[in-house]
Structure 1
């Protein structure tokens, strides 16, 4: 029987189907992040489900605690993905998602709210560690970038989904809807294949061939399937030639891997410290503050919905153009525009503090630009790039290490954003975010290679050239000094 059925020999439809299912838990994670924007206004109001309005300190902990948990689960999810498989790890993510929503349904006590949000740290880690790896390993090179961008698209759609229903439906109805999605995902995903790279690593060659055949809609005896299998085996044999079993140590001591790791860390940190995280979590409050004394048409929640819609458009655009425009131009342009928009927003708030009132549409416009750039370049390209510049053996370790550092940054942002904004002015935070983005744009030009449609071997040749050039310059400097 032909494995490709009605879709035709060589169709990529199965890769698209499984990539969508891989990223469904990311949709739920995105909804969890978006949940806080409308719910923080509700929880701090007289109509709070908790019975009493929650303080700024409690809301800050509710916002920050997922990132604290994520710091540890970045590595735990990497271990689960490597030892038990990408598929098992993905199902575990959905179970954690479901448990969080169940806890919110069971209790509205402060401890329950914080614990439920703490559980979101698990899918948060999985969304940024397991899902990108899994997607990369089931994708052809020709669509690797587009499918890799789905992680951000689903996250942004989840954000927007919660912004919309958060403004329309009751507190408990929202929770029931969000609980249904991870339960459905577990049921649907069970028949899906495991990553071929993982199967090869575990010595399950026949299962890997079957998975490749299903993914590529080809016969198991097709030459392309066998060639792809040989490439996977070759990559993993090259990994085994590394003498050290302590992967983090190798990432620092090996010059090639160290450069790849540095690039991955830089793009990840820039993605997380561009201002999007506090904006998405506190969108309603930011717009509420910006709308004081003005006659805006939309409520804070409705303005947050506009922000969410712009974010989705940006993510869809990224998935559409990343294979045409390339990683490097897209990352540079979005970093620069995001930085300039953040600086413009900071200036708007600073002028208002001095009783100089600029047009009231500036906050909405600049935040939309920032979120659009974040969703169309900073987030998806950094995720795709990190998966492309390291081999199978180091992929989960690099993902976990970069995400753990970024989780620390996110935790500190969530915990400190509101108190610091009240203490020293919100404009200081936005100037900081803007400068980070502009520095990232400069870094892209100087350090980051193009990876679009290229094999790992070709990408590493580019990285090696940079290392050789740096070594020659260092030797020249030493000789000159002597």
Structure 2
């Protein structure tokens, strides 16, 4: 129950991104009139860029909200989507200013959802399932995208869709207020009794049950509050932690800018271009095609219908990724899926303008590979790399980079399509994904079932043979090297903190 509710804001963000795809589709173009095709595409780009630019602001706001607690921060995230859907509803009765304001609210909520959901899933679930729990945010996001694609294909009235989206976010705010706070957060605040009670509720066990003992011992010790800036500086001061963070952050950001997100953002438009760029063959003798359907053999059923197919494939592969990320591991999944997605995008680029159906099929394969490994594995990998003290900081910084990459990607993809057609846009995506596969093969370590210390040893050189004397913070965290002792004064200072 707790895991499913953690990912509701992520699903809301998927709904918001699916809405952008509708703005670039044929229905929107038809409603806009003669220049509708161009205006609909421009409107979709503006909507996407506005949303992801606002996400940059959402990351530091999320960091501030975390100081009040994981639970409050996630409720505030759903509140952003309550505001988003309310403003979009208001725009249907007039007031065009509501639309850009709704996009900003969606961007703020989206940044918080992708930063907070993996953090809470990592802290609320047992070690055995934490990788799958973190990966579930991609499943929830893709479910939201598919729901919006289905709504478009079924031509459900706009206001009906918005009321359902608003109801989802309001319901989540209410339900999550009754769930327990993160046990790790409570333990770090020195509230051990509350942490035990929260852990017992999450596991469905009595507070005195002996089965909780191991997990209670693994909860972080009480620590003094630090500003986000000082925590980030402390995290990056250690060479091994810094190298691990750089690899993890590039894994997250690289996945976000590989081009698949842009394809999903403009799904209907991509399939419309795939259809329109193929020259229509001459009618055979008798005025009918071989199938007798009056439709060219290279024609697509409809861009909206193919968007639904892609969304369904993506959702199924996201569900499969919950198994793969634990069974196969983070690194093999990243390398294999990146290579498969890059190859499929290269094939789609080569066939764009020649066969709409094969191009659409290749794009679908790329989306499937992305959902199976590229979406979930980087977040699971980054969450594995850090103890409680630095985990939220690492996820926030990586999420900020991902938001910047998303804004750049959704702006560059249509520019490439405008300059060189769909082939150029897909070729750019293939090149980026191929480069990502090489990066994962060369630098990304396996993190499944490994402690942060084991991961640090795998990604970089060990600490110097004669390290500097441990600092009070090292004493407090227990990070001092073996064979060294904290000075008595430093231990006293640590205790006083």
- TM-score higher than 0.5 here? yes
Change (3 A) 1:365 1:43: closer
Match of 1:211 among 198, 207, 227: 198
Q: Does 1:70 align with 2:34?
A: no
Counterpart-to-counterpart distance in 1, 2:421 and 2:188: 52
Judged with a 3 Å threshold, the aligned counterparts in structure 2 of structure 1 residues 454 and 302 are, in CA distance, closer, same or farther, namely: same
- Maintained 8 Å contact 1:270/1:378: no
Shift of 1:264: 1.4
1:377 matched to 2:373? yes
Q: Note the 1:26-425 alignment, pairs <5 A.
A: 26-41=10-25, 44-47=28-31, 54=39, 56-81=41-66, 83-108=67-92, 109-168=95-154, 169-233=156-220, 246-292=230-276, 293=279, 295=296, 296-349=299-352, 352=353, 357=354, 359-425=355-421
SS in structure 1 at match of 2:206: coil
Say whether the 8 Å CA contact 1:261–1:398 is kept in structure 2. yes
Contact 1:22 1:134 in 2 (8 A): yes
After superposition, give the CA deviation of every residue in 1:274-330 in whole Å (9 maximum; x if it has no partner). 111111110101100111245335210000000101100110110122211111111
**Aligned partners of 1:467 and 1:204: how far apart in 2?**
37
Q: Runs of 5+ in structure 2 lacking a partner?
A: 281-295, 466-497
Separation in 1, partners of 2:15, 2:457:
40
1:460 maps to which of 456, 461, 477: 456
Superimposed CA distance per residue, residues 8-54 of structure 1 (whole angstroms, 9 cap, x where no aligned partner): xxxxxxxxx201110011111111111121233367434359xx884
- Tell me if structure 2 keeps the 8 A contact 1:244–1:250: no
The equivalent of 2:5 in structure 1 is 21
Flag the structure with higher helix content: 1
Which stretch shifts more, 30-39 or 216-225?
Answer: 216-225
Aligned 8 A contact 1:264 1:382 in 2: yes
User: Residues 274 and 422 of structure 2 are in contact (CA less than 8 Å); yes or no, is this contact kept in structure 1?
Assistant: no
In structure 2, relative to structure 1, the CA distance for the partners of 1:45 and 1:392 (3 Å cut) is same
**Contact 1:61–1:114 (CA under 8 A) maintained in structure 2:** no
Structure-2 separation of matches of 1:470 and 1:57: 55
For residue 116 of structure 1, report the CA deviation from its aligned partner.
Answer: 0.9
Superposition deviation, residue 55 in structure 1:
5.3
Which structure would you say has the larger RCO, counting Cα contacts within 8 Å and 6 or more residues apart? Answer: 1
Does structure 2 conserve the Cα–Cα contact (< 8 Å) formed by 1:327 and 1:450? yes
Q: CA deviation at 1:470?
A: 12
The alignment's TM-score, normalised by the length of structure 1, stands at: 0.85
Q: Distance in 2 between matches of 1:223 and 1:233?
A: 19
Structure 1: any 5+ residue segments left out of the alignment? Answer: 1-16, 472-482
> Comparing 252-261 with 376-385, which one deviates more in the overlay?
252-261
In structure 1, the residue matched to 2:440 is: 444
Q: Please give the residue correspondences for 1:419-434 in structure 2 after superposition, counting only pairs within 5 Å.
A: 419-434=415-430
Say which is worse superposed, 301-310 or 400-409, in terms of deviation.
Answer: 400-409
Offset of 1:440 from its aligned partner? Answer: 2.1
Deviates more, 1:273-282 or 1:249-258: 249-258
* CA deviation string 1:404-457 (max 9, x = no partner): 112112112223332332123333332222222222222223222222233334
Counterpart contact for 1:39–1:166, Cα < 8 Å: no
> Structure 1 residues 22 and 273 mapped into 2: Cα distance closer, same or farther (>3 Å)?
same
2:227 & 2:216 partners in 1: Cα distance? 24
User: In 2, Cα distance between the equivalents of 1:393 and 1:281?
Assistant: 35
| 1:90 Cα deviation after fit | 0.9
Distance 1:470 1:152, change over 3 A: farther
| Two-structure CA RMSD over aligned residues (Å) | 2.6
The answer as to whether partners of 1:78 and 1:129 remain within 8 angstroms in 2 is: no
Shift of residue 171, structure 1, vs aligned partner: 1.5
